[in-house]
Amino acid sequence: MDHGFRFMWKSLIETRRLLWIMVLTFAAVLLVQFFELPQDSVLSSLLSAGKVAFFGKRNFPDQGLSSSLATVGNITDTYTFQAKPNSKILNLTKEGYEGNEGKDEDTKFDCVPNKNGSIHKEFTSVNNGSSLRDSLGKCRDFEHAISTRNVTEKNYTSPGNIQTQHFPSTPGQNVSSGCASECLTTFSLLSPVSPIKLDSVTPVISVEPNRSPMLKMPLESNISMVNNNSSVALSPTHGESEMPKLAPVKISKMNELLLRSHSFSNSMPPQQISTGDKELLHAKFEIENASSIDADLGLYGPVYRNLFMFKRSYDLMDKMLRVYIYKEGQKPIFHESILEGIYASEGWFLKLLESNKQFVTDDPTEAHLFYIPFSSRLLELTLYVRNSHSRKNLIDYMQNYVEMLIHKYPFWNRTNGEDHFLAACHDWAPAETRGRMLSCLRALCNADIKTGFVIGKDVSLPTVNVRSAKNPLKDIGGEPAIKRPILAFFSGYMHGRARPILLKHWGKDPDMRIFDRLPHVKGNKNYIEHMKSSKYCICARGFAVHSPRVVESIFFECVPVIISDNYIPPFFEVLNWESFAVFILEKDIPNLKSILLSIPEEKYLEMLNGVKQVQKHFLWHAEPVKYDLFHMTLHSVWYNRVFRLNLA
């Protein structure tokens, strides 16, 4: 009996010990997960309810597919996102690269003017066949890609031999740009995310789960911003992001955003009101009260939002605008221009403004605007380290330049830079002009509402593929409507998400000419003749939203069909684009033909006439003429400054 009792007692002790071991093991698992897993995901790995799980060397907060994601440097690990049921498995891996719009249609970059405006061959592009694709790496649903070329000059042969100028940065100030304008939603704030700090040297993604994000949306802004104090690095990926895309912003919503921006500006009042500010305030009153007496018989009313306001504003600009150009900055990044190729617009504007006597003043106290004379293309050619997949040094260079101006002059601080402006056409320009430069009036070719372009502040700069700097108007014009047998035409590289779909659906249609690439003919005559002989010219986005085909369509008098979600067309402040162009969402490409055929012939002829009427606004001239591209760019900057000025 005593022996049996001891046996039962021993068994009970062993059972209790086993139970305690199980309890302690389970508690240890919970404890480990509490410290290892972020935020509220302690039990999610055990009892998953369809939440997003991140597998790899780092864990991200479980905040749905709107969380901020990035890959950096030469990442060899594959990070898999398992989304909710029925969603895709996403793999972020390093793959190959290829060129962007720079390869399209016989593009070249080889003309830079001397100070006196003459053109010489200091910079020569050598297309060596190598190309790069890079993405911004953070909350981005498309990639940028570039074709990297060698640069040679009389006294140097590679970017590495170019002596760069270093500017002092403010102590304690982080001058590296963050991804403020990359993690965006158009009308509502994103789910709270933990800021991700990207390191451009090591392939490690670090997450700071204990920091609170800074999300804000100014009244006039069309984006949601996150804390912009983190560093930026490029993440090499292949193809476009598979992340769910936000609903595109339709042209009607863009019109509403413009009206709201100009009606309710929360621009920062100047520290001290200058004479120039008072003049701009008076100009605003004059523009808002423009009447039919301001009409110009040379302007066609339907292609403008408000012909009378535009004419009054243009005349006031022509009469009173004064621009101060900073003399600081080392060539070739500053005070130098490339006048050919798809990035030529920034070069032409810089060249023509620096040689202008009417608008430019040497007295900054009488200036209404301050111009930062840099070239985003030459910034890339000079400083970008090939195969580095990082443009942090480019961003830092521009940030340091601005810091130098802030320390040297009082002009920036008076308005927080809101009376400063720049013109930049490279795909990377939105990233290169972040940080403090976000307050500037930015004229950008890459006018993408999802990468930080602010309607009513920033200006959409036309992307013009200048084939001859000596004769920028070569081959202008097209056939009359009766001699345009082709319904629609497109030719270009199949990069980006829209073009392959376009080719798949319409590449074999007998009424349209949709090509991957046309056979090359000297002078690109094959491509040009197709544009001149088509009713509609398809302007489908590549990796970035902008394309030279928009201006090419107008140049060759073909009605542009813009297939590029979230792209703000040029001179949006004053032009009524819907009167001379067709806008089709990327998701509607399968319906392209039926949409075009549904347009009545009378409406088509009205749009064709509108194209001819606005053509004058998209032309570069060696000597600027009234209403040309130079004056229209300057006017849009002036116009936005006038309506953003806040003296309250």
Residue 538 to residue 530: CA distance in whole angstroms: 11
Split at pLDDT 50, 70, 90, the class of 202 is very low
Residue range 48-53: mean pLDDT, rounded: 34
* 69 within 8 A of 191, measured Cβ to Cβ: no
**Residue pLDDT, tens place only, 398-416:** 999 999 999 999 999 999 9
Split at pLDDT 50, 70, 90, the class of 646 is confident
What's the whole-model pTM score?
0.68
**Residue pLDDT, tens place only, 261-306:** 988 877 888 888 889 999 999 999 999 999 887 777 789 999 999 9
pLDDT recorded at residue 293: 76
Split at pLDDT 50, 70, 90, the class of 245 is low
Residue 559 to residue 119: CA distance in whole angstroms: 33
Residue bearing tokens 């997960």: 33
Residue range 227-243: mean pLDDT, rounded: 37
Residue 138 to residue 156: CA distance in whole angstroms: 36
Q: Which of 153, 147, 213 shows the shortest CA–CA distance to 183?
A: 213
Let me know how many helices (H) and strands (E) the chain has, helices first: 15, 21
More confidently predicted of 145 and 648: 648
More confidently predicted of 318 and 183: 318
Beta-sheet strands, E only, within 18-123: 53-55, 79-82, 89-92, 112-113, 119-120
Integer CA distances (angstroms), 583 to 456, 560, 587, 596, in order? 20, 8, 12, 11
Q: Which of 237, 213, 247, 201 shows the shortest CA–CA distance to 68?
A: 213
Give every CB contact of residue 609 below 8 A, 6+ residues apart in sequence: 300, 580
pLDDT recorded at residue 413: 94
**Residue pLDDT, tens place only, 558-594:** 999 999 999 999 999 999 999 999 999 999 999 999 9
Q: Which of 34, 119, 47 shows the shortest CA–CA distance to 472?
A: 119
Q: Which of 72, 96, 161, 112 shows the shortest CA–CA distance to 377?
A: 112
pLDDT recorded at residue 4: 55
Residue 640 to residue 457: CA distance in whole angstroms: 6
pLDDT recorded at residue 525: 85
pLDDT recorded at residue 3: 54
Q: Which of 433, 425, 409 shows the shortest CA–CA distance to 464?
A: 425
pLDDT recorded at residue 19: 80
Dihedral angle of Cα 464, 468, 472, 475, to the nearest 10 degrees: -100
More confidently predicted of 7 and 373: 373
Q: Which of 441, 454, 549 shows the shortest CA–CA distance to 498?
A: 549
Give percent of the chain above pLDDT 90. Answer: 56
Residue range 377-387: mean pLDDT, rounded: 95
Whether omega before 332 lies within 30 degrees of 0, making that bond cis, reads: yes
* 134 within 8 A of 194, measured Cβ to Cβ: no
pLDDT recorded at residue 9: 57
645, pLDDT greater than 60: yes
Residue 390 to residue 521: CA distance in whole angstroms: 37
Residue 108 to residue 551: CA distance in whole angstroms: 17
Average pLDDT over the chain, rounded to an integer: 74
Q: Which residues pair with 555 in a beta bridge?
A: none
Integer CA distances (angstroms), 45 to 29, 67, 97, 476, in order? 11, 18, 36, 64
All structural domains of the chain: 481-618 (3.40.50.2000)
DSSP assignments along 373-427, one per residue: -B-HHHHHHHH--TT----HHHHHHHHHHHHHHHHH-SHHHHHTTTTEEEEE-ST
Tokens of 377: 């293309």
Residue range 32-44: mean pLDDT, rounded: 43
Integer CA distances (angstroms), 213 to 65, 210, 451, 530, in order? 17, 10, 18, 51
Q: Which residues pair with 151 in a beta bridge?
A: 125
pLDDT recorded at residue 26: 75
Phi, psi angles (nearest 5°) of residue 65: -75, 0
pLDDT recorded at residue 517: 86
Give every CB contact of residue 67 below 8 A, 6+ residues apart in sequence: 52, 60, 61, 191, 193
Q: What three-state secondary structure class fits 629?
A: helix
* 339 within 8 A of 468, measured Cβ to Cβ: no
Integer CA distances (angstroms), 565 to 143, 272, 452, 467, 589, in order? 14, 41, 14, 27, 12
pLDDT recorded at residue 123: 38
492 CB burial (10 A radius; 0-12, 13-18, 19+): buried
pLDDT recorded at residue 13: 72
* 611 within 8 A of 554, measured Cβ to Cβ: yes
Residue range 323-331: mean pLDDT, rounded: 97
Give the number of residues written for the chain.
648
More confidently predicted of 84 and 368: 368
pLDDT recorded at residue 16: 74
194, pLDDT greater than 90: no
Q: What is the DSSP letter of 284?
A: H
- Give the number of other Cβ atoms within 10 Å of residue 38's Cβ: 16
**Residue pLDDT, tens place only, 425-483:** 999 999 999 999 999 999 999 999 999 999 999 999 999 999 999 999 999 999 999 99
**Residue pLDDT, tens place only, 522-561:** 777 899 999 999 999 999 999 999 999 999 999 999 999 9
Give every CB contact of residue 599 below 8 A, 6+ residues apart in sequence: 582, 607
CA atoms within 13 Å, Cβ hemisphere of 101: 27
Residue range 25-50: mean pLDDT, rounded: 49
Residues 395-413 as b/e (b if ≥16 CB within 10 A, e otherwise) read bbbbbbbbbbbbeeeebbe
Residue 556 to residue 560: CA distance in whole angstroms: 10
Phi, psi angles (nearest 5°) of residue 341: 95, -175
Residue 571 to residue 307: CA distance in whole angstroms: 14
**Residue pLDDT, tens place only, 438-449:** 999 999 999 999
Residue 591 to residue 607: CA distance in whole angstroms: 20
